[in-house]
Amino acid sequence: MGTDKARLEIDGVPLADRAAAVLETAGADPVVLVGPDPRGTAVQWSVIDDRFPGQGPMGGVISTLGAIDAHLVAVVACDMPALDADEIRRLRSSIGAADVAVSVAAGVDQPLHAVWSRRALPVLLTAFDGGERSLRRVLRLLAVVRMPAGDPAHLIDVDTPEDLRSYLARR
């Protein structure tokens, strides 16, 4: 993208603030950001240092599960501008005894639109220590509930300027 996606604005609202608001609406407490300090955004929340900066999203999930004192943790990527609180609530209510409940769109698991149990942390750490960086591959080692996305548009992410232009043109 060429810029910090967390601070990228749509309709004057940074993507991180949009994601935080959806998590708050879904009942997440606390809402935290993993990574760089979000100063300059409108919504205030706690910041958790990414224990593994530059190592991809798996490091962020590990950092979150290790820092939050909750059995279940909703995890979303801040570059998903169309997140929906009902989708997060559905994941939370479906996880049961599983390690993670993930949304699925077009047959693809979305581990950054998921509710994770802290039970998954030892498996994630072992895989990470062994060099694995793909959350999708690590899902094979966990008990997973897969929930078809109520609306796949809620899982759109904007990784490039073209993705952002496409998203804005469709909404």
Neighbours of 102 (CB within 10 A): 27
Q: Are 63 and 48 in contact (CB under 8 A)?
A: yes
Cα–Cα distance, 166 to 168 (Å, whole number): 5
pLDDT in tens, the chain (171 residues): 677 788 888 888 888 888 988 999 999 988 888 876 655 555 566 788 889 988 999 999 999 999 998 999 999 998 999 999 999 999 999 999 999 999 999 999 999 999 999 999 999 999 999 999 999 999 999 999 999 998 998 999 998 889 888 999 988
Q: Catalogue all structural domains in the chain, each as residue range(s) with its CATH number.
A: 5-170 (3.90.550.10)
> The whole model's pTM is what?
0.90
Say if residue 23 is exposed, middle or buried (CB neighbours under 10 Å; 0-12, 13-18, 19+): buried
Cα–Cα distance, 154 to 138 (Å, whole number): 23
State the Rg of the chain over Cα.
Answer: 15
Q: How far is CA 132 from CA 55, 63, 123, 126, in A?
A: 10, 15, 11, 9
